[in-house]
């Protein structure tokens, strides 16, 4: 028996195991804000004044155009 969950206004971040550079986020994930999907990136930061804190960047996840979606589904004749 599966339950349907409403993930509106919810999200999750996970540890970035593929981090190779300090400029890459420490955590990444997705968040849904009022029905719109966003990608969230989080960095662990520290400053003398604020101490330890988390810094976030959010970008909207754009859907693939229908032409690209259709091309991906079509078989390529060889």
Mean of pLDDT values over 25-30: 97
Q: State if pTM tops 0.85.
A: no
Which of the four pLDDT bands, split at 50, 70 and 90, describes residue 73?
low
Instruction: Find all residues with CB under 8 Å of 31, minimum gap 6, and list them.
Output: 10, 11, 12, 37, 38, 40, 58
- Does 51 or 75 have the greater pLDDT score? 51
Which residue bears the tokens 């300090």?
22
Task: For residues 27 and 61, give the distance between their C-alpha atoms in angstroms, rounded to a whole number.
Answer: 17
38-58: pLDDT as tens digits: 999 999 999 999 999 999 999
């Amino acid at each position: 028996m599966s339950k349907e969950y409403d993930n509106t206004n919810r999200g999750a971040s996970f540890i970035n195991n593929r981090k190779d550079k300090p400029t890459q986020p420490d955590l990444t994930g997705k968040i849904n804000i009022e029905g719109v999907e966003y990608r969230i990136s989080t960095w662990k930061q520290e400053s003398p004044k604020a101490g330890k804190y988390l810094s976030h960047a959010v970008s909207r996840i754009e859907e693939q155009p229908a032409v690209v979606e259709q091309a991906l589904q079509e078989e390529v004749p060889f």
